[in-house]
Chains A and B, each alone.
Chain A
Amino acid sequence: MEGKIGLERKIAVVGVGWSGFKPFTTEEYRELIFEAAVKAYEDAGGINPRKDVDGFIGVAEDLWEGISIADEYYPDQVGAVFKPENSVSADGIVGFISACMMIQSGVWDTAVVEAHSKISEVLSVNDLLLFALDPVFNRPLWNVDPKTKKPVGGHPYMFAGLEMNRYLAETGTTVEQCAKVVVKNYRNALKNPFAAYGSNLTVEDVICSKVVSHPLKELDASKFADGCVVVVLAGEEVAKKYTDTPIWVKGYGFCSETSWLECHDWGDSVYTRISGEMAYKMAGIKNPRKEVNFAEVDDTFSYKELQNLEALKIFGRGEAGKFVEENLTAIDGDFPVNPSGGSLGQGNLFCANGLQKILGVVLQLRNEAGKFQVSKAEVGLAQAWRGIPTTSGAVTILGR
């Protein structure tokens, strides 16, 4: 795509709002979204979505909601009735990018992106993960008990186990290094007032936790949370109207690797590498380690953080584990990673993971992160993955 990427029109994040980030919330999910939207619009200088917003992007995946056509239930609570609106079934960052592209194509000036999770309502998350597999070549490896209609034959986290196994084998990373990621992110979460799972663990706690699918332990996997994030974006000319601290979108990229798990590169995060390259190119970044100050990357499984950091060329292949062990990625380290606590510390928000990462980056860049504020925050990176068993990811780079 030589020479095709260009952010001719600068875009700023002018408002962020969130709600939930709890293992369980009593509100209906639309009430949760309304709450986050109120905060985001207030944050954007008290805009009125009925007047000031040109378009809305929703992010949802049907069966995480238990609704077919989740988009039906989208317009009311964000103020999108009779307004241009579109929905993507992708990660939150892809929704964010869709909104950027609508602004850059010239039809919208101000856009709102919303993503949420109400995973506590899904009583059969694991059945659903199996339901995402190819029905011909992969899914029949599991049997469904005709009486209980429950699938049996191994936890679907075995796909994370396979990926972790290959990643460790290819790079020589150790399970202790993966455990260190868990320890770090849970500790960071202790400093984050809206993180659901702050905790003081040790590497031994992680390594000695129950084996789900060797080499993956129970504590290597992030726990779930309900929550919603709403982001308000605006083109350069209007952004200043809404806020004194616009956070600029410097670059973005998204990529999908393959629809065949058999062909997936299990040791590497190829989709992250390509989305990262796209975003760096757009942002004019040659040396990410030096030019980006901190990152919120996908850590729904501990090894993913390391794998993604390497794919993003922040660390060399096989080096991320070592640097995590040396505390380089701690909040006060040279390159803080997931200072907010990440998905491990804040809870896995599924479709909303990407926007949660963006929220974390925006707070840092505005110096509003309080106890988990990193010392140098000029340029930050957010990256997310759609979770097992997918091979899709997205990256965005934000700066002051």
Chain B
Amino acid sequence: MSVKISKYPGVGLKEEDIKGKKVLTTVWPCNLKYSWSAGVAVGRFLTELKNGKIIGRVCKKCGRILIPPRMYCEWCWKPTDEWVYVKDTGTINTYAITHLATDGVTRLKEPMPIAVIQLDVPAKLPRFFAGFLHYLGEVKPEDVKFGMKVKAVWKPPEERIGSITDIKYFKPV
């Protein structure tokens, strides 16, 4: 706001004005379909998830293991060098307890713990580690702790489709 300006434009509306059709509206249910290439790195990652394994890529220059895998090391800016399987265990780097569903309005019946899992992989650069976001299970939300050791719980092989959700959740060990 500037003292030189006395009036600011805009007509605020309430949800009832739109739902109750007090103002005219147009609607468009967008339903855009995509089929994204998983590519070399993530394609292999998904294949291995289906096999019940977690795979990463190694950059020999900085020594990091990149998970989720990618074909280039952003830090050294060179192609990564080889594939490596890692254990499906790790620690909780950070966590949160969600009460909200994906759409941002629906509230979950049961709050669900989620966490960034730092996989048990030697860290070569400070502040970088290998891991990903996933659910936590078989643990009460209030019992989740930083640094807690966790292990992946996999879906039975016949239910796996090559997706991040082939891991049901991580549970404390």
Contact = CB atoms under 8 A, between A and B. Distances in A.
Interface of A: 25-31, 34, 48-50, 63, 66, 75-77, 79, 81, 118, 120-124, 127-128, 131, 135-136, 139-140, 144, 146, 149-150
B126 interface: no
Nearest to A48: B77
Interface of B is mostly: mixed
A24 to B, nearest CB: 9
Contacts of B38: 28
A63 B74 contact: no
B60 to A, nearest CB: 17
Contacts of A121: 34-37
B35 A26 contact: no
Contacts of B77: 48-50, 79
A44 to B, nearest CB: 14
A146 B35 CA distance: 23
Interface size class of B (residues with CB under 8 A): 20 to 34
Contacts of A79: 74, 77
B75 A31 contact: no
B18 to A, nearest CB: 14
Interface stretch (B23-31, B92-100, B163-171): B23-31
A76 B70 contact: yes
A317 to B, nearest CB: 38
B42 to A, nearest CB: 6
A139 B29 CA distance: 12
A72 B36 CA distance: 17
B87 to A, nearest CB: 25
B39 interface: yes
B86 interface: no
B29 A31 contact: no
Contacts of B26: 135-136, 139-140
Contact of A124 (B33, B37, B39, B70): B33
19 contacts: A28-B40, A28-B41, A28-B42, A29-B39, A31-B39, A31-B41, A31-B72, A34-B79, A66-B32, A77-B74, A79-B77, A121-B36, A122-B33, A123-B33, A131-B30, A135-B26, A136-B26, A140-B26, A150-B31
B59 interface: no
